[in-house]
Copies of this chain bind each other. A is one copy, B any other.
Amino acid sequence: MFILVTYDVDTQSETGAKRLRKVAKECLNYGHRVQNSVFECVLSEAQFLIFKSKIIKIIDCNLDSVRFYFLSKNWNRRIECLGRETAIDVNSELII
């Protein structure tokens, strides 16, 4: 399934900056960065559950926000880009 992941991590504190790095690293392991805090992922349900559990362990639920958007089967027809484009490579290796 295609999942879009977006995040805002509160970086006011040193621990926030650390959480941001960790969230970004985990997203890079599971998806393809298309914008600074936006990743496109093609994952199985099992992979998604593991990914999500890792994110839960990293973030501060009171300060940070991570959102997952599930696009339907024809997801490649459901994306439109303006400006700089970074397309997803669904054949690229998934590093977990």
Which residues in A have some Cβ–Cβ distance to B below 8 Å?
A: 4, 6-8, 34-38, 52, 55-56, 59-72, 78-86
Contacts and interface: CB of A to CB of B under 8 A. Distances in A.
B79 A62 contact: no
A55 B80 CA distance: 13
A55 B67 contact: no
Contact of A71 (B7, B36, B56, B78): B78
A52 B70 CA distance: 22
Nearest to A37: B37
Contacts of A78: 69-72
B71 A84 contact: no
A80 to B, nearest CB: 4
Contacts of A84: 8, 61-65
30 contacts: A4-B4, A4-B69, A6-B6, A6-B34, A6-B35, A7-B35, A8-B35, A34-B65, A35-B37, A35-B67, A38-B38, A38-B67, A52-B82, A56-B82, A61-B83, A61-B84, A63-B84, A65-B83, A65-B85, A66-B81, A67-B79, A67-B81, A67-B82, A68-B79, A68-B81, A69-B78, A69-B79, A71-B71, A71-B72, A71-B78
